[in-house]
Structure 1
Amino acid sequence: MAKPKKRYVCQACGSVSSRWQGQCADCAEWNTLVEDAGAVVTPFSARHNLRSGGRAITLVGLDAEIALPERMSLGIPEFDRAMGGGLVAGSATLIGGDPGIGKSTLLLQAAARIAARGHSVAYISGEEAADQVRLRARRLGLGAAPLQLAAATSVRDILTTLGDGSPPALVVIDSIQTMHSDLIEGAPGTVSQVRASAQELIRFAKDSGAAVVLVGHVTKDGAIAGPRVLEHMVDTVLSFEGERSHLYRILRATKNRFGGTDEIGVFAMAETGLEEVANPSSLFLTHRGEAVSGATVFPALEGTRPVLVEIQALTVRLASGATPRRAVVGWDAGRLAMILAVLEARCGLSFSTAEVYLNVAGGYRISDPAADLAVAAALVSALAERPVPADTVAFGEVALSGEIRPVAHGALRLKESAKLGFERALVPLSLAGEKGTIALTGFRTLGALVDHLLGRD
């Protein structure tokens, strides 16, 4: 029989190599390859014929009847919104976020509310003692919640405990990087341990019908630490985003087998824990009494929820020969460079001798291409020192030709803007005919917008 081959797994990115080397060929990290003793690869020639000795499986058609999965509300509408309506029995959910962002606080609040409605809930912490979790619960006003706590890191012990009697409705594991399976060798947090521990917990969820929520650490790049296959194993992947220096937090689903990934939940950190924000725009709009040059309001869209944010721009003229600086917070720096190039090439404006600073107020991050028009308006306003009216919003995508292209859900953005008291909107020309309570000014090209802002039209 052929000798089994060994493999080496990178502890940073999960890449597999047939031999040890000092630097990972995929992520370029040093001294991260570790022999995976729990998974020895057997050559194909040593395996049996895969077409013999198997079990026939049943094939079904797409028109087979299926019942919709029952959902368990978390008791936090913003959480339910991001999840697509609540937790599904037997599902596995992975939630990741920066340290101290509030993952444990949010899950403790949700677990306490579910337990208060008569469901059995187990909260297993591998990072804190049970007394530490109790102290946090008391600070949050949840000290009387009928929640079952435990501090453990052994997956075998956890499953043995949960297997006695009827399984709980919800199991929270905080965090998966601290769990240890005795089926394979390796320290907690290694790729092999995270994969094996998650696999056992997910199998428990599928067999028992309990909903399992795993807390995951993130790397410096914002990705969930551990093997990438971990995100493929679970049913739902949630990202808890925000800056610790700001109040707001956003819960976003990046994967959901039981619903869409186009909804977010918005929270604000308070002394009593995370509070829901019914009107997210109130967090990101600057309340100012008069118009200020370089400031434009943009109706962003998160799923089906419009969120109005303020885009701020500042330009500073430099002496001849100095290298101008470009600084961006909350938006793509490459997108800013493109807008500046279009303004110079198509509109005749010069930013080559000016430093440009762009900021999205409130620590919000924008990836919506509809922000192009609002950014361009803020840049023109800052350069000419002519304020955009405070009751005006702007949105539209800017092409390299200078054309302003229409964007999705324009009517929804306008409706939200009108509801918050805005009276005018700068939009693509195709939207100028929309009827509503807000006055629309449409533009076909970016040059037409510049002429409007500078009073040339």
Structure 2
Amino acid sequence: MKDGKLKSIYVCSNCGETSPRWMGRCPSCGEWNTMTEDVVMVESKATAAKRSASVATGRVQGQTSLRAERLADISTDEEKSRIVTGIHELDRVLGGGIVLGSVVLLGGEPGAGKSTLLLQLCGAISGSHHVLYVTGEESTRQIKLRANRLRVAQENISLVAETEIDEICGLIEQMRPDLVVIDSIQTMHCSDVSSSAGSVSQVKECSARLLAVAKSCEIPTFIVGHVNKDGAIAGPKVMEHIVDTVLYFEGDKTLPYRILRGVKNRYGSTNEIGMFDMTGTGLTEIENPSQLLLDGRPLGISGNCVACTMEGTRPILSEVQALVTKSGFGTPRRAASGFDFNRTNLLLAVLEKRAGYFFANLDVYINIVGGLDLNETACDLAVCLAMASALMDKPIGDKTIAIGEVGLAGEIRNVTFLENRLREAQRIGFTKAIVPKHSLKQLELSEFSDMELIGVSYIRDAIQAIK
């Protein structure tokens, strides 16, 4: 039995700062409402004094067992340092594959498909690699049933249902698998920490021990992390700092599409996304998201316009829908799904002030089809044209795309990667593009001989182009 007593402390989930009492604002990082209660074992004064005396033995100056390597002698062979999974959307987000010794934290809403994705990953590489799947939420029989439903290869996949982190680390060091999956970190606990599983101290300690084993044995490790009501991964923020890669699996449970997005990646870009379709037999890759998002688009209907957003190096076309109706209340309603609400109000003000189209007594609704969020300002022009089209009840051409940022003066400003956006639109079959006039000088017009490029300087010019 440990020599000490239990004591309640409050730990900041953002920075790990501790306090003997609850505070609304963390004194270290300044975040509000991040102090959560935790129970720890406090040593007695006698035990602490003995431990301090045993530790304070000193060290001999200039002596160490560490050996440093020359940077020039360290191998960086991509084929040896990465595992290519064969799931191209996952490899894209990871930067080309799984780096040996890396620790990847995967978060997402309940039911998004985190366990499904990782089990399919295990099956994809099991032909040439040995995988250890550690579950703390399900039994091995339940994992077997899911594997049968997903039709994954099972020969080189080992399962264990365990929550004691020291036992898990010992098993990893004994088996030396090529990949480890921990599902999930909130169910793991360390016997040295007296608090319950899922607490800040438990999650922090368990993550640190898994990280130490992964780095020392060069075994890539995937850790599943639950999210709280704010959408952030539950547990201390320091957990996201110590891992190599943080991925979020996004998607509305009512829609089949899922987006894998990297918010931190030491071995690749954080701008890339992977798109999947949730089916009855698991997740399937979406290699042509633009075509999928535009399938079933109504033709010849007012209030519809196609925009193009860049997700990393990938251009994705998406349909913008606008509906303008007479308001039945004194204050008109404004609603936006998939587009920033404040940006919508800004663009409405520009249309009224600079173009003379008034929405003062009208309800305005904006919807981005497919569940994709258009956070890029390059989609401003498409949203404005959709709202103007809905107001005038005049359809925009079915093969027309609009690309451009709208300023407060009503000017249409340049956007990045315009050539890539136009190539994607031309590949899908669009024949007309409304773009910033200043950008035409930077384009190789011979590449877009099948498209009519209309350069506009102000929002009024763009609206005239669709009349």
- The answer, yes or no, to whether TM exceeds 0.5 is yes
Q: Counterparts of 1:315 and 1:55 in 2: how far apart (Å)?
A: 76
Q: Counterparts of 2:67 and 2:8 in 1: how far apart (Å)?
A: 35
- Please name the residue that 2:142 is paired with: 132
Number of matched residues? 441
Query: Which deviations, in whole Å up to 9, do the C-alpha atoms of 1:234-268 show, x marking residues without a partner?
Result: 01111111111111111111111111112211110
| AA of the residue aligned to 1:136 | R
Deviation at 1:206, TM superposition (A): 0.4
- The structure-2 alpha-carbon separation of the partners of 1:149 and 1:451, relative to structure 1 and needing over 3 Å to count, comes to same
Query: Which deviations, in whole Å up to 9, do the C-alpha atoms of 1:389-413 show, x marking residues without a partner?
Result: 0100111111112111111100000
Of 100, 103, 106, 2:111 maps to: 100
- The structure-2 alpha-carbon separation of the partners of 1:292 and 1:39, relative to structure 1 and needing over 3 Å to count, comes to farther
Answer whether contact 2:107 2:224 (CA < 8 A) is retained: yes
Answer whether contact 1:9 1:191 (CA < 8 A) is retained: no
Deviation at 1:19, TM superposition (A): 2.7
Residues 1:187 and 2:196 aligned together: yes
Residues 1:380 and 2:388 aligned together: yes
Deviation at 1:438, TM superposition (A): 1.5
Over the matched positions of the two proteins, sequence identity in percent amounts to: 41
Residues 1:302 and 2:311 aligned together: yes
Gaps of 5+ in 2: 1-6
Of 320, 328, 331, 1:323 maps to: 331
Residues 1:33 and 2:11 aligned together: no
Q: Counterparts of 1:311 and 1:358 in 2: how far apart (Å)?
A: 7
Residues 1:445 and 2:458 aligned together: yes
Higher share of residues assigned helix: 2
Answer whether contact 1:14 1:226 (CA < 8 A) is retained: no
- The structure-2 alpha-carbon separation of the partners of 1:297 and 1:157, relative to structure 1 and needing over 3 Å to count, comes to same
Answer whether contact 1:235 1:256 (CA < 8 A) is retained: yes
Deviation at 1:432, TM superposition (A): 3.2
Deviation at 1:431, TM superposition (A): 2.7
- The structure-2 alpha-carbon separation of the partners of 1:211 and 1:65, relative to structure 1 and needing over 3 Å to count, comes to closer
Alignment of 1:38-437 (within 5 A): 67-68=76-77, 70-115=81-126, 117-142=127-152, 144-165=154-175, 167-288=176-297, 290-318=299-327, 322-433=330-441, 434=443, 435=445, 436=448, 437=450
Q: Counterparts of 1:55 and 1:418 in 2: how far apart (Å)?
A: 66
Q: Counterparts of 2:209 and 2:8 in 1: how far apart (Å)?
A: 22
Answer whether contact 2:262 2:273 (CA < 8 A) is retained: yes
- The structure-2 alpha-carbon separation of the partners of 1:51 and 1:394, relative to structure 1 and needing over 3 Å to count, comes to farther
The 10-residue stretch of structure 1 (412-421 or 139-148) with the greater mean CA deviation from structure 2? 139-148
| AA of the residue aligned to 2:456 | F
Q: Counterparts of 1:76 and 1:152 in 2: how far apart (Å)?
A: 28
- Please name the residue that 1:21 is paired with: 22
- The structure-2 alpha-carbon separation of the partners of 1:430 and 1:170, relative to structure 1 and needing over 3 Å to count, comes to same
- The structure-2 alpha-carbon separation of the partners of 1:267 and 1:30, relative to structure 1 and needing over 3 Å to count, comes to closer
| AA of the residue aligned to 1:33 | E
Q: Counterparts of 1:353 and 1:86 in 2: how far apart (Å)?
A: 53
Q: Counterparts of 1:428 and 1:39 in 2: how far apart (Å)?
A: 68
Instruction: Give the structure-2-normalised TM-score.
Output: 0.88
Instruction: Give the structure-1-normalised TM-score.
Output: 0.89
- Please name the residue that 1:3 is paired with: none
Deviation at 1:9, TM superposition (A): 3.4
Answer whether contact 2:16 2:237 (CA < 8 A) is retained: no
Gaps of 5+ in 1: 1-5
Answer whether contact 2:12 2:34 (CA < 8 A) is retained: no
Deviation at 1:367, TM superposition (A): 1.2
| AA of the residue aligned to 2:143 | V
